[in-house]
Amino acid sequence: MESRQNKEAEIISEILLRAASDPEFRNELLKSPGTVLEQYDVSPEAKLIIKRSIIDLTQ
């Protein structure tokens, strides 16, 4: 059985890859990260990692 941590790492990776390749998704994530990330079953810590990573991608 896959650990929760591994599953979250996969989801984080999936979101970041999509943000890198899909400008519309990336813009939505930047504008309202809370709303977009609500759709994913990840911990608050994972959401914070995603938000920080998205900000890094745009600088």
CA distances from 33 to 1, 2, 3, 13 (A): 30, 26, 25, 16
Asked if residue 6 belongs to a domain, the reply is: no
For the chain, the domain total comes to 1
**Does the global pTM surpass 0.85?**
no
What confidence tens digit (pLDDT) does each residue in 3-46 have?
A: 988 999 999 999 999 999 999 999 999 999 999 999 999 999 99
Short-list 41, 5, 31, CA closest to 15: 41
CA gap 35, 51 in Å, rounded: 12
CA gap 8, 24 in Å, rounded: 23
Q: What is the extent of the structural domain holding 27?
A: 11-57
What confidence tens digit (pLDDT) does each residue in 20-29 have?
A: 999 999 999 9
Asked if residue 22 belongs to a domain, the reply is: yes
Asked if residue 42 belongs to a domain, the reply is: yes
Asked if residue 5 belongs to a domain, the reply is: no
Short-list 23, 30, 36, CA closest to 52: 30
Asked if residue 3 belongs to a domain, the reply is: no
